[in-house]
Amino acid sequence: MNKKILIVPGDGIGPEVTAVGKKVLDKIAEKFGHQFSYDEALIGHVAIEATGLPLPDETLTKMKASDAVLFGAVGHPKYDNDPSAKVRPEQGLLKMRKELGLYANLRPIKLFDELLDASSIKPEILKGADILFFRELTGDIYFGDKGRKNDGDTAYDVAEYSRYEVERIARKAFDAARTRNKKVCSVDKANVLETSRLWREVVQKIALEYPDVEIEHQFVDATAMLLIKDPKRFDVVVTANLFGDILTDEASQIAGSMGMLASASIGDGTGVYEPIHGSAHDITGKGVANPLASVLSAALLLDISFGLKAESEAVINAVDLVLKAGFRTRDIADASTPANMILGTEAMGAEVLSRI
Ligand code: NAD
């Protein structure tokens, strides 16, 4: 298979972890006989420094011309401490999602058995949990009308969803459920919100097209509770932008560490694959960042954008074997981890590569 992959490392630890993700793609190409060609582009703080813009046109053009994007992270302390800054790294991220029409954010939440103790949830509740979140990414309260009323003391953000927006993400979720345990949980707040009532009506209609998939509807408050109480009950979860933002961060704790979780943002064109963590400036340049979220993002890219299931499995299995062998990065090590088993970013990458 011939594919063009754009590497967009971004800021902070982005370049360190993305370099490992790229090596994994290279290894897969070599082992399975594919030809992957690469280009690189700027986003975030590094793009602002170089061009004045968080998402330069050149980056966007390269993204659109690629088959998939492997993304690092954006963000810099300079902007975190200055909420009034007019040009900000995160604007690059939002513009990218809008321009590429990335309306579905997928986040697999699956704990490697070796890391059961790294989670704050009891192992017996957690073992076997395997959830795939679909968070809607381009609608809701984030993109509706917002502002201050005349006196400046009242603010508003309008939540909006169209039938079409709900339909397209619901279909993605049902399609994915067919390849898994055939269960979809649609999360809303239909007892209170009109957007949620439309959401539920549309999901119920789409569910009729998938009689082989079981559908349940849950309120977002109940879901927040059930994720901690009984995460194993979920298979595919589909929800709106704001609810998804909060629930996926909650669910990330099931997996123990931010350094382990990958995500995919997809629409009808180029898909973008990235760790869920940010630019982590507290550890940038120290060579200690956990590269496994970027490695698992590469696995998602192979599966979702290229349909290369066996290749994707090979990457996930390699990560599993590395953890089984006892290797850890600092963030997933505990008091019982021997010092010589705690690896830096590159060494952890090398252990994964040798097991593909
Ligand atoms: P963060 O994810 O960067 O870091 C949170 C904590 O987790 C830090 O202590 C960090 O050291 C640790 N951590 C994160 N990734 C790790 C890894 N791979 N290995 C080991 N430890 C890891 O979140 P934050 O500190 O809230 O934000 C830092 C910057 O990142 C901010 O500017 C924020 O806006 C940005 N951010 C960007 C994205 C993105 O690009 N998608 C997401 C979240 C935050």
DSSP letter for each residue of 93-113: HHHHHHHTT--EEEEEEE--G
Ligand 1, atom nearest to 44 Cα? 40
| pLDDT of res. 198 | 98
Q: State in Å: Cα 138 to ligand 1 middle.
A: 22
Q: Given phi > 0 = left and psi -120 to 50 = alpha, else beta, which region is 196?
A: alpha
| Annotated catalytic residue 245 | yes
The answer to whether 153 is a known catalytic residue is no
Residue 253, pLDDT score? 82
Q: Which atom of ligand 1 is nearest to the CA of 280?
A: 3
Could you identify the atom of ligand 1 that is nearest to the CA of residue 13? 18
Cβ < 6 A, ligand 1 pocket: 13, 17, 73-76, 80, 90, 93, 258-259, 277-280, 282-283, 289-290, 293, 331
HSE-up of residue 60 (Cα within 13 Å, Cβ side): 15
- Burial label for 307, CB within 10 Å (0-12, 13-18, 19+), is exposed
Ligand 1: atom nearest CA of 291 is 18
Domain boundaries, the chain: 1-106+259-356, 120-254
For atom 37 of ligand 1, which residue has the closest CA? 278
What tokens were used for 348? Answer: 């952890």
Nearest CA to ligand 1 atom 31: 75
Task: State the catalytic residue, choosing from 26, 142, 183, 320.
Answer: 142
From the candidates 249, 268, 286, 309, which is the catalytic residue?
249
3-state secondary structure 28-83: HHHHHCCEEEEEECCCCHHHHHHHCCCCCHHHHHHHHCCCEEEEEECCCHHHHCCC
**Is residue 4 among the annotated active site residues?**
no
Task: Give ∠ CA 68-20-303 in degrees, rounded to 5.
Answer: 40
Q: What is the pLDDT of residue 83?
A: 74
Is 169 strand, coil or helix? helix
Instruction: State the residue for tokens 């349909």.
Output: 307
Whether 1-106+259-356 shares its CATH topology with 120-254 is answered yes
Q: How far is the CA of 55 from the centre of ligand 1 (A)?
A: 20
What's the confidence (pLDDT) of residue 163?
98
Q: What is the mean pLDDT of each run of 10 residues along the chain (356 residues)?
A: 97 98 98 98 97 97 98 92 85 90 94 83 90 94 90 92 97 95 98 98 98 98 96 97 93 81 93 95 97 97 96 97 96 91 98 98
Which of 61-88 are b and which e, b meaning 16 or more Cβ less than 10 Å from the residue's Cβ? ebbeebbbbbbbbbbbeebeeeeeeeeb
DSSP H/E element including 129: none
Among the listed residues 26, 80, 130, 245, the single catalytic one is 245
Residue 354: which of 114, 24, 34, 113 has the closest Cα? Answer: 24
Classify domain 120-254 at the CATH superfamily level. Isopropylmalate Dehydrogenase (3.40.718.10)
Cα of 178 from ligand 1 centre, angstroms: 33
**Rounded Cα–Cα distance for residues 135 and 119 (Å):** 23
161 catalytic residue (yes or no): no
Q: Distance from the CA of 280 to the center of ligand 1, in angstroms? A: 4
Cα(283) to centroid of ligand 1, in Å?
9
CATH topology of domain 1-106+259-356: Isopropylmalate Dehydrogenase (3.40.718)
What number of residues does the chain have?
Answer: 356
Ligand 1 atom closest to Cα of 290?
A: 19
| Residue 303 annotated in active site | no
C-alpha torsion angle, residues 190, 187, 258, 68 (rounded to 10): -110
DSSP state for residue 117 in the 8-state scheme: G
Tell which one of 18, 279, 292, 295 to mutate to probe ligand 1, the residue whose CB is within 8 A of the most ligand atoms.
279
Identify the pLDDT of residue 116.
Answer: 84
Residue tagged active-site, from 221, 232, 268, 286: 221
